[in-house]
Each structure stands twice: as structure tokens, then as C-alpha cells.
Amino acid sequence: MIEQVIAEWHAFVETPSTAGLHALLAEDCVFLSPIVFTPQRGRDLTAMYLLAASQTLGQGGFRYTKQVLAADTAVLEFETTLEGKYVNGVDIITCSSAGQIVEFRVMIRPLQAVNLVHAQMQAMLQSLQG
């Protein structure tokens, strides 16, 4: 099941679509951010964060460099560049037996990248919230 979910995730990353993302996320999905202390709960909130991340991190040649799949979990390492700074991180994705993402956890390094992503994500989320 995780293979199909990750194939659909990669399709979203290539061509971000709100409808496609909503179909991929379970209604009670949880998003765990490297920036926000509390878990973000629910499909709509998770989708908002993931759409903002795709617009923020996708600016500098975002690409996945490694992928490990096991049972219901995937670990996808990525890298990109923001404002000339190297960003390295991992997405840890857990799916349900129904083929939907139930947890999406992001970790980013180095500290300069975390600070830069924080500032850009905050601006992007404010623009999405209107």
C-alpha cells in the first residue's frame, strides 16, 4: 500500500493539485512540522501546510534523493536551495490500510535552513489564509 501512496505523493510534488492532495490525505491526518510545536490535525490544515511547503520549497530545485519504504511508512530524503542556502530534510509519511496519508512528519537541517523555511512558510501560510 505504501508504494501506491508514495507514487501518488510524487505525482502531487510534480504537479501540485488541491484536489489530488485532499484525496491522498485521510480526514484525520496529522502534520508534524519542524517549525510549529503542536501537531496540526485534520485534512484541511495538513493540506494547507503541504501546499505552502510545496510553493516554498519547490522554488530551488527541490528533489528527493533517497527513499526507504517499509510496511506503512516511507522516509523520503530531500534537498533544495532557498535564497542560496542549502536545505536538507526528510518527509516521514505513514499511510492507512485504505491508502491515505494519516501522518506527515517533516524534519529539516541545517539551522540556517530551518530559520529560512520558517520565515518563508509563515509568509506563505498568511497568504493562503487570505
Q: Which CATH number do you get for residue 111?
A: 3.10.450.50
The pLDDT, as a whole number, for residue 30 is 97
pLDDT at 64 over 90: yes
Number of domains in the chain: 1
- Provide the domain limits for residue 54: 2-129
* DSSP β-bridge partners for residue 68: 75
**Phi and psi dihedrals of 106, rounded to 5?**
-120, 135
State the average pLDDT over residues 72-93.
94
- How is residue 71 written as a grid cell? 510496511
45 and 125 in contact (C-beta within 8 Å)? no
pTM as predicted: 0.90
For position 130, what pLDDT does the model report? Answer: 62
